[in-house]
Amino acid sequence: MGHVDLNFEGVYESQIENLMLCVVQLVLSGGWYPDAERSMRKKIADKISVEGLDNLLQGVPSEEAELFKHDLRILKFIQ
């Protein structure tokens, strides 16, 4: 997971891109790293709580936004 972090550090400027990257990292971790999973889940949940998902998704094409929301539902971040 550190490899993904290192390769993409500072690449994305928008908050939604960084949030999406964090979700990808969570999925790629596959539950193998419980401490990292807890940390990523907290980071994702905090970002959604503070910024608001609708605010974060402004400017994202509706089809992509719906796919991302679907992923967040599967991961139990939203209902």
Name 56's Cβ contacts closer than 8 Å, sequence gap at least 6.
15, 16, 19, 47, 48
Q: Does pTM surpass 0.95?
A: no
- Render each residue's pLDDT in the chain as its tens digit; 79 residues: 554 454 556 666 799 999 999 999 999 999 898 999 999 999 999 999 999 999 999 999 999 999 999 999 999 999 9
Domain spans of the chain, in order of start: 13-74
